[in-house]
Amino acid sequence: MSNTYFSKKQLFIIAFMLIAVLCRVLPHLPNFSPITAIALFGGLYFSNKTMAYLVPLFIMALSDLFLGFHSISIVVYAAFLVVSFIGTQTNKPSVFTILLSSISFFIITNFGVWLIGYPKTWTGLVECYTLAIPFFRNSLLGDFFYSGVMILGFNFVQKKYLNLA
């Protein structure tokens, strides 16, 4: 396989991620966004593991330039890296991988929310996660929707234009 193939494949991966991140900056339902899908997709498809972590992180930071950074951003980025790690450790995408990514993102980010905005008690922790449950439904729907579109779309492009099946 030539360097052109790797370059072309990486460009397609980045293009899919950039298109997905546009959905993050456009109006959408609360938590119905491509964040987890972008991180998982990068981990799944970049053969270069450094790119699997850095490109999704860069794309996330790029969209945050428009949306704004928040006190929770560092925790969101850490959760993002965990999801990229899940992708790098997976042989192929699956419902389980998407679900694991969603749950990991939910647990990590809401722990950060608890640290920043709730009493540091068991009651505060339970309250934080309980109040987050309604948002998790939209997160799951968004994660499955965007992951499905990105994975199926890339597999189609890969077979049709990159001759890789």
Q: What pLDDT does residue 165 have?
A: 47
Quick one: pLDDT band at residue 1, thresholds 50, 70, 90? very low
Residue percentage of the chain with pLDDT more than 90:
75
**Residue 3 pLDDT more than 80?**
no
Distance of CA 104 to the CA centre of its chain: 11
- pTM, whole model, 2 decimals? 0.89
Average the pLDDT over 22-27 and give the result: 86
**Residue 4 pLDDT more than 80?**
no
Residues 18, 19, 24: CA angle, nearest 5 degrees: 85
Would you say how long the chain is, in residues? 165
pLDDT in tens, 57-95: 999 999 899 889 999 999 999 999 999 999 999 989 999
Residues 15, 18, 90: CA angle, nearest 5 degrees: 75
| 19-28, 107-116, 149-158: range with highest mean pLDDT | 107-116
Neighbours of 132 (CB within 10 A): 17
